[in-house]
Amino acid sequence: MSRRRQKKRSQRDELRRRKGGRLRKAAAALVGVALLCTALAAGLVLSGLVDSDSGPRKAAIVDQLDLTQPNPDFVASATSILEQAGYTVDYFPGEQVTVDLYRNLPTHDYDLIILRVHSGISEETDVTTGEKTKREYVALFSGEPYRQDKYPQEPIGRLGKAEYYEGAPPLFGVGPDFITYSMRGSFDKTLIVLMGCDGLRSPRTGQAFLDKGASAFVGWSESVSASHSDAATLRLLEKLLVNGLPLADAVAQTAAEVGRDPSYGAELRVLPDGG
């Protein structure tokens, strides 16, 4: 073989070698990306919030607090975290937070419900005498103006007046008996995050959600400011959906990092404990 032919063959072999090397590097890079995506998905499955056999996850932000303490930055940030984790998000501003919205929450098959709503401790009413008892529960505010004759089908104790302060225009409030007996259908292992005051000062309302099929209930031990609750809830979502922590660990780490509410001393907790 002539020297000229040998030179051309050597050049062709070198070109093939270089192309093969570039293809192998590109393939390795694609494998790396695939492994990264798999790792992210695995982290979400470990957190208990993504079922690899199910379709897209669904979340709801019920923002009754929008009527008095709106925070569009919170809504945008929470929605972004949820959507990046694969959730479709429904948002309900204050005027849409009605008795019927609460009634139908289980029928939407949400995997996660964030209740950014006013809430507070109330005393149970005896159904026979109409008098207050000393048994406490947490009432959730709606954005619907209260009218005594509007829901005559609801027995005493399921709905009541909810007031921001004494003398304020009353709204409908819902209690644990409404969750148990008036909500339609059942939750399917839905995580409930109550951002309002006193969510777990009494366990009755949280337990009503669990008995209705929720997987866990996150709430505050005392009164809490909106700003503190907003910050803590975003941190909790990051730990659950970005870091992939189990719920109990995510709540514990969030509580440790954001601390108690500086004004009221509320601490973030979860029911069941360790759930």
Give the closest residue to 159 by CA, choosing from 82, 240, 98: 98
pLDDT at 132: 55
Widest CA span in the chain? 113
pLDDT at 236: 98
Across the chain, which has 275 residues, the per-10-residue mean pLDDT values are: 47 47 34 29 39 75 98 98 98 98 98 97 60 74 96 92 91 96 97 98 96 98 98 98 98 98 97 77
**What does the alpha-carbon distance between residue 16 and residue 21 come to, in Å, rounded to a whole number?**
9
pLDDT at 131: 55
pLDDT at 30: 28
pTM of the model: 0.79
**What does the alpha-carbon distance between residue 44 and residue 115 come to, in Å, rounded to a whole number?**
22
Q: Count Cβ atoms below 10 Å from residue 66 Cβ, excluding itself.
A: 23
pLDDT at 130: 52
Lookup: tokens for 182: 């008036």
pLDDT at 39: 28
Q: What phi and psi, each to the nearest 5 degrees, are found at residue 164?
A: -65, -35
pLDDT at 8: 44
**What does the alpha-carbon distance between residue 67 and residue 70 come to, in Å, rounded to a whole number?**
6
pLDDT at 156: 84
